[in-house]
Structure 1
Amino acid sequence: MRIDPRLDDFLEAQGLGRHRPETAKELNGRNANFLVVTTTDTPVFVKRIATGSRDAAERHAACVAFEELRREDPAIQRTLGTAPLLASDADLGFLAYVALPGSTSLAELGRQPKDDADADEGDAGTRDPEDFAEDLGRLLAAVHALDPAGVPPRAEAPRLPPIQPLDHLTWESYQNLTAPCLRIWNRLQNDPDAAGTLRALRADEAYAVEQHPVAIHGDVRLDQFLLDREGRLRLIDLEEFRLGDPARDVGSMVGEWLHRATLDLVGEQDAVAAVADLELTHDEVVANGAAALDRRRPVIQRFFEAYRTSCGPDAAWVDDPAFVDRVTRFAGWHMFDRLIAVAEHTSRVSALHWAAAGIGRQALLAPRAAAPALGLPDHSDQRKAAA
């Protein structure tokens, strides 16, 4: 394991001491990530955003700005847990956070065998992600309540869902994508309704941001939430923090619950491998998927109601039918996003994952009809009245 030799200079300049080499542990991620204990006996999680990339400075600035804004408001700070930022260096790309030993991501929690999870006495008293639905709603509301004036600008809109591949793939993408990924993009390129709706979603999102920009996380997934030893949720990975449409965050979270409804058909353990080997007919997938969604709908309802209540009267967007439409469509896109993620790591995509993407497609194309089925507010009467 090779750690950047400039790390010790960075840590010492912040009064944290030098790292003890025998304690260093490398972690996975797009950046160089390490857990170390310093000579001052301080456990530190260190992330280095490689300088020189097009948006490296923006991603570093986003992480710093989030922590500064969170600390400015004591009420938000009490609700919005994270791994506190100890020190940063924009020139070197270093970010040093308080380490959270013993923490578990909600994604990992969801993959635990239920019997083992029940036997494992956690301080939170619960061992399933759905038990934290209300907490997740309140936490996202706190993010969206941060002062937008303090959010640094970004040169480009969020990367996903991508629009350019709906027309054609670049030669570089064509060479690097797996065969299952190529099939997915081929289907989307030959599905004018889905492709057109994704373009419309990005346009509607841009208009919403122009009218009322809100601080958003920008990359919400269950693995971005850590459960610490005390049972408190902590939001991490703030590199996509930006001014944006809150429907992106809320829709991604709804999409996570919708995706988990799909995994209910095979269990949580080694789900990718299990799904790849599972053969179900279309009718079986639809019937079983409907039952699984019935079980998850109350979770989405609790999540959204906690979010709506926590946002308060100043967040007028929450009761706007157009907001719920965008939430539903972002949830639908999330199913395609997870389909693509599976296709990057397997030789074939199962009928189950194609069917899950089909559910996402329906949410994209008919959000007003899909919303109540997902546990979101029913605004279908407004559409009929407008007609």
Structure 2
Amino acid sequence: MALGEAGRTAGNGVERLLRGLSLGSLLPKRVVSYSGRNDNCSGPTTEGVDVFVKHLGGPAEDAERRLRNILAFEELLATASEWASQLRGPRCLGWSEEDLLVAFELVPSAVSGAERADSGDFTVQDAFRVGAAIGTLHGLDRVGRIRLDTSPPALPPVAALTALSLEKHRTASAAELRLWSILQQDEELAAGIRTLREREALAASCPVHGDFRLDQLLFAGDVVHLLDFEELRRGDPARDIGAYVGEWLHRAIGKLSGPGGGTDAAEAVPSTKEMLCRATRELARTRPLIERFRDGYDSAGRALDPALRERSAAFAGWHLIDRVLAQSVQRSTLTPVQRAALGIARTLLVSPAAVTTTLGLED
């Protein structure tokens, strides 16, 4: 079975899809399965092709939308000129709209951007390549020939800044409820998030990834691939740039507690002065990775609107909040480090113009 106990139907669909593509079938003893929002699997087939197969999970209507977005990226790539060679994704082998499956050629000897960052092997050259890839994506299809998703992104959820739905309130953890209480009661922060959504709606749109994280990068030697275009849409480029910056800030903030990790509220909390000193040191180490990303982005030749860097800083702030939200699921309290992340996110969202230079988004 290709996709685990929860995926018998999808597993049968995988067989149909691969055989229909003349790829044979997966070798059962060499299949690796992954679970999450989507059930995925990878392995060699009887025809000697290494594949990665994604099953789009969740409500059918939303899964169909996400499959259309993945296929729209393939269409963008197919119509791109040679100058767009800096933008790559694993080669799409085929898909099934009926079974909500899409198959890709497995990239050999590849590691994710998150793994590369964890090991300390993410270099300024890598940052440049990622910036060039994102900048290239943002410069594709300037005249809008390809039909892309134009629905407003779900996040940040502005309505939740006023009140949570009854269902969300019923199912949220104590830490999540505390976080939403902080967001709802901080009028300046809530206004910053609302302003960001308003400015995003007015920005000149282009193809954007829409859900960028370091684990959606795949490195094979010096080649970088972008993954998971389920939220591809025509939108504000600042969303992707801010997500990249936010990823590095999130990692830097995660180191603020020092030895022991500071992941539990019961651990000793560093003083405010000590935490600020650590934040400054970590940001100094992170800044070159943002500066070279910016250089790579600029090398793609896309014209920048005057407020792009400011909106990017604000989106980096939202990215921090989003990561804290994800971490607070099934927790009873917010940790000191998570509270520190919220404080930094607040600065980015309330006063984004004041931090673009500090972040490395401009000189």
**TM-score, with structure 2 as normaliser:** 0.91
| 2:239 is the counterpart of 1:254 | no
| 2:201 is the counterpart of 1:206 | yes
- Cα 1:257–1:130 shift into 2, 3 Å: farther
Choose which of 59, 70, 76 in structure 1 pairs with 2:66: 59
Shift in Å, 1:65:
1.4
List per-residue Cα deviations over 1:6-61 (Å, max 9, x = no partner). Answer: 22121111111122222222113211211132110111100111485332222101
| 2:226 is the counterpart of 1:232 | no
Q: Structure 2 CA distance, aligned partners of 1:242 and 1:14?
A: 28
Contact 1:35 1:99 in 2 (8 A): yes
Count of aligned residue pairs for this structure pair: 355
Q: Structure 1 CA distance, aligned partners of 2:268 and 2:23?
A: 51
Q: Which runs of 5+ in 2 are unaligned?
A: none
Residue 232 of structure 2 aligns with an amino acid whose one-letter code is F
Contact 1:60 1:93 in 2 (8 A): yes
In structure 2, the residue matched to 1:382 is none
| 2:198 is the counterpart of 1:215 | no
Shift in Å, 1:277:
4.0
Q: Structure 2 CA distance, aligned partners of 1:222 and 1:100?
A: 17
* Aligned counterparts, 1:119-268, within 5 A: 127-128=121-122, 130-147=124-141, 149-154=144-149, 156-208=151-203, 212-228=204-220, 230-265=221-256
Shift in Å, 1:63:
0.6
Q: List structure 1 runs of 4+ shifted beyond 6 angstroms.
A: none
Residue 238 of structure 2 aligns with an amino acid whose one-letter code is A
In structure 2, the residue matched to 1:118 is none
Choose which of 319, 339, 342 in structure 1 pairs with 2:327: 342
Residue 191 of structure 2 aligns with an amino acid whose one-letter code is G
Structure 1 stretch 100-109 or stretch 144-153: which is displaced more? 144-153
Q: Which runs of 5+ in 1 are unaligned?
A: 115-126, 379-387
Residue 190 of structure 1 aligns with an amino acid whose one-letter code is Q
Residue 246 of structure 1 aligns with an amino acid whose one-letter code is P
In structure 2, the residue matched to 1:294 is 284
Shift in Å, 1:173:
0.7
Residue 252 of structure 2 aligns with an amino acid whose one-letter code is A
Q: Structure 2 CA distance, aligned partners of 1:29 and 1:130?
A: 31
Structure 1 stretch 332-341 or stretch 270-279: which is displaced more? 270-279
**Cα root mean square deviation, aligned:** 2.3
DSSP 3-state at the match of 2:355: helix
**TM-score, with structure 1 as normaliser:** 0.85
* Aligned counterparts, 1:101-112, within 5 A: 101-112=108-119
Shift in Å, 1:260:
2.2
Residue 277 of structure 2 aligns with an amino acid whose one-letter code is A
Contact 2:262 2:268 in 1 (8 A): no
Shift in Å, 1:377:
2.0
Q: Structure 1 CA distance, aligned partners of 2:232 and 2:102?
A: 15
Contact 2:90 2:106 in 1 (8 A): yes
Contact 2:162 2:184 in 1 (8 A): yes
| 2:77 is the counterpart of 1:70 | yes
Shift in Å, 1:100:
2.1
Q: Structure 2 CA distance, aligned partners of 1:171 and 1:152?
A: 36
- Cα 1:169–1:51 shift into 2, 3 Å: closer
Contact 1:61 1:152 in 2 (8 A): no
- Cα 1:276–1:104 shift into 2, 3 Å: farther
Choose which of 349, 353, 363 in structure 2 pairs with 1:368: 353
Shift in Å, 1:292:
1.6
| 2:16 is the counterpart of 1:21 | no
Q: Structure 1 CA distance, aligned partners of 2:185 and 2:242?
A: 25
- Cα 1:151–1:248 shift into 2, 3 Å: farther
- Cα 1:155–1:91 shift into 2, 3 Å: farther
In structure 2, the residue matched to 1:384 is none
In structure 1, the residue matched to 2:271 is 281
Residue 89 of structure 1 aligns with an amino acid whose one-letter code is S
